[in-house]
Amino acid sequence: MEIRCKKEDCKHNTGCSCCAGVVQIDRGTHCDSYVHNSLKEELIQENGSIFKVDESIAPQHLKNVPLECRAKSCIHNREESCTANGITVIDDEDDDTHADCATFCES
């Protein structure tokens, strides 16, 4: 499954693609696989976004990442497995030290 990640400071984020071994979404919508990388955060603070390459001309850093989802109220969840074609992970609205699945749709 393709997983797009907008959490630039995550250690698994490579060119806005997730490169974790497995992604786990908890019973809410939090991405439990998010791991803060302070070095990336420092680069972002110094230079703005560290992913400025236009995706239309840059090669994609795609990896087929297994996704375990415990958000039982999501329409894409089938027996704790995501059936969406792909997901996007973004900042948590209330706390930017967490990441959320933006593809979550209440069933």
pLDDT digits (tens, 9 = 90+) for 46-60: 665 555 444 444 445
Residue 53 confidence (pLDDT): 45
Predicted model pTM: 0.75
What is the token pair recorded at 98? Answer: 């967490």
Extract the residue ranges of the chain whose pLDDT is less than 50: 52-59
Residue 31 lies in a domain: yes
Determine, yes or no, domain membership for 107: no
What's the pLDDT score for residue 43? Answer: 61
What's the total number of domains in the chain? 1
Please report, for residues 9, 30, 37, the alpha-carbon distance to residue 19 in angstroms, rounded to integers and kept in the order given.
13, 17, 14
In a domain, 19, yes or no: yes
Residue 82 DSSP one-character state: E
Q: Is 16 within the bounds of a domain?
A: yes
Torsion of Cα atoms, 59 then 35 then 90 then 66, to 10°? 60
Short-list 37, 46, 34, 33, CA closest to 9: 37
Residue 106, domain member (yes or no) = no
Identify the pLDDT of residue 97.
83
Could you tell me if residue 38 is inside a domain? yes
Domain contains 75: yes
Provide the residue range defining the domain that includes 76: 2-101
